[in-house]
Amino acid sequence: MKKRYVNLQEITVKEPLKVDTEFSDKMLSLPKEEVVASSPFKLYIEISKRAVGYNAKGDVRGSLTLRCGRCDREFFKRLNIEFSYDIMPTSEITEGRINKAELDVKFSDEDVLDLLDVVREQIFLNLPFKPLCDDNCKGIECGEIENTENVDDRWNKLKELKEKLERKEK
């Protein structure tokens, strides 16, 4: 059984807690509208006790099958996400000691950290808002331009511009 829960109170100042674990695609149950399929995801996390709160850092690794927002084709995306953030008690907000704009701080008073939540959150943070099979995806014609993949990016942009100008002339 892979480790899923960490009791934060068991972490001492002397030594960070290190966990290597993995969650199956079933456990991750990512939203079907956004993710066609996913591999199991691996998590390595190190949690250290601070004077106030904790620091959590590590990485999340796995891969997803997504659907392109332009051509509707499925494609594979490997994720290798490094993260680091502090976990602070919510009292730190009200006492105004922490700037709420600090993105790498999470507020929680829970003693138990669910590592599945950590992994799911990191995946969501790294899901593209509009997934594209390729930055140069031309939409439904995508399949037809496969052979031009090696063409330089700038050349493609020039071509687009030229086509736009030509359309305007008509």
For Zn ion, the binding residues (CB under 5 A) are 68, 70-71, 133, 137, 142
Least spacing, CB of residue 35 vs Zn ion, in Å: 16
Query: Which residue's CB is nearer to Zn ion, number 2 or number 67?
Result: 67
Least spacing, CB of residue 150 vs Zn ion, in Å: 17
Query: Which residue's CB is nearer to Zn ion, number 45 or number 133?
Result: 133
**Is 122 within 8 Å of 60 (Cβ atoms)?**
yes
Degrees (nearest 5) of the Cα angle 39, 118, 116?
Answer: 60
Of 87, 88, 92, 91, nearest in space to 56 by CA: 87
Least spacing, CB of residue 74 vs Zn ion, in Å: 10
Query: Which residue's CB is nearer to Zn ion, number 57 or number 138?
Result: 138
